[in-house]
Amino acid sequence: MAKANIPIYRDMVELLKLLMREVKNMPKADNRTLGDNIINRTLNCIYQLQLAYDSHDNTTIRLQALKAFDTEFSTLCTYLRVVNELHLLSLKIMVNIFERTETIAKQLKGWMNKQKQIVCEDSTATATE
């Protein structure tokens, strides 16, 4: 599985494992509502990364998948901020989570910028032909 070698994919899987271990420590009512949404958003993010990776021959589809990932990831980060503000998980765990999300966000930005550059180069090459 070549996807496992991509840092953003590997980091998302690690984040998922961390969240799955820690969300169950939240109070029961919060676990059922917020916790389930956090896990589902994380799984959706991984799915969008798989779509982006698998569409290596179509830059437009890859960029769409990355944009969908960005939307899911932004929502996930909002949920995590709520968890932090309500003190549903320990500060130590939240610091670990936020460090991981920051790393993922930087990787996403780099990948999206690269794809936009490729789209621009492709459109410029098509225009000059």
- H-state helical runs in 24-35: 28-30
* Residue 68 pLDDT: 95
Q: Which domains does the chain have, with CATH numbers?
A: 2-128 (1.20.1440.60)
Calpha distance 82→29 (Å, rounded) = 14
What does each of the 129 residues of the chain score in pLDDT, given as a tens digit?
Answer: 456 678 999 999 999 999 999 999 999 989 889 999 999 999 999 999 999 999 878 888 888 999 999 999 999 999 999 999 999 999 999 999 999 999 999 999 998 888 878 767 666 655 555
Please name the residue that has the structure tokens 């500060």: 91
* Residue 5 pLDDT: 79
Written in H, E and C, the secondary structure of 62-116 is HHHHHHHHHHHHHHHHHHHHHHHHCCCCCHHHHHHHHHHHHHHHHHHHHHHHHHH
